[in-house]
Amino acid sequence: MISRNFIRIKVLEAIYAYRASHCTDVFAAEKRLEHAMEDFYALFLKLLALFPALARMDSKILELKKGRMLPTEEDLKPNYKFSENRLIQQLDNNPLIEKAVKNNAVGWDNDLDQLFLKPFYTTLRNQDFYTQYLKSGENSYEEDKNFVLQLIELFLLENEECAAYLGETRLHWKIDYNDAIIAVYNVLKKYNEKQAVEKPLPPLFKPTPDSPKSEDEIFMRDLFVKTITDDKEYEQIIAQCIRNWELDRIANMDLILLKMALCELMHMPSIPIRVTMNEYIELAKYYSTPKSRIFINGVLDNALNMLRTENRMHKQGRGLMG
DSSP 101-166: HHHTT--S-SHHHHHHHHHHHHHHHTSHHHHHHHHS----HHHHHHHHHHHIIIIITT-HHHHHHH
Residue 247 near residue 237 (C-beta atoms within 8 A): no
Other C-beta atoms closer than 10 Å to the C-beta of 272 total 17
Q: Which CATH number fits domain 230-320: 3.30.300.30, 2.60.120.200, 3.30.565.10, 1.10.940.10?
A: 1.10.940.10
d(CA 53, CA 55): 5
Q: What is the CA radius of gyration of the chain?
A: 24
How far apart CA 50 and CA 65 sit, in angstroms, is 23
**How far, in Å, CA of 281 to CA of 8, rounded?**
12
Crossing angle of helices 231-241 and 252-267, in 10° steps, is 100
Helix or strand holding residue 91 (H, E): helix 86-93
Q: What is the pLDDT of residue 322?
A: 58
For residue 255, the SS3 value is helix
Enumerate the domain spans of the chain.
Answer: 4-188, 230-320
275 burial level (CB within 10 Å; 0-12, 13-18, 19+)? middle
SS (H, E, C) 5-60: HHHHHHHHHHHHHHHHCCCCCHHHHHHHHHHHHHHHHHHHHHHHHHHHHHHHHHHH
Task: Note whether 203 and 83 are within 8 A (CB).
Answer: no
CA distances from 56 to 60, 97, 133, 222, 316 (A): 6, 16, 17, 44, 52
- The residue among 3, 16, 7, 20 whose CA lies nearest residue 287 is 16
Residue among 4, 36, 2 nearest 264 (CA)? 4
Sign of CA dihedral 243, 244, 248, 249: negative
Each residue's pLDDT, cut to its tens digit, for the chain (322 residues) gives 899 999 999 999 999 999 999 888 999 999 999 999 999 999 999 999 999 999 999 999 998 888 877 888 787 888 999 999 999 999 999 999 999 999 999 999 999 999 999 999 999 999 999 999 999 999 999 999 999 999 999 999 999 999 999 999 998 999 999 999 999 999 999 999 999 999 999 999 999 888 888 999 999 999 999 999 999 999 999 999 987 777 778 889 999 999 999 999 999 999 999 999 999 999 999 999 888 999 999 999 999 999 999 999 988 877 667 5
- Predicted pLDDT at 71: 80
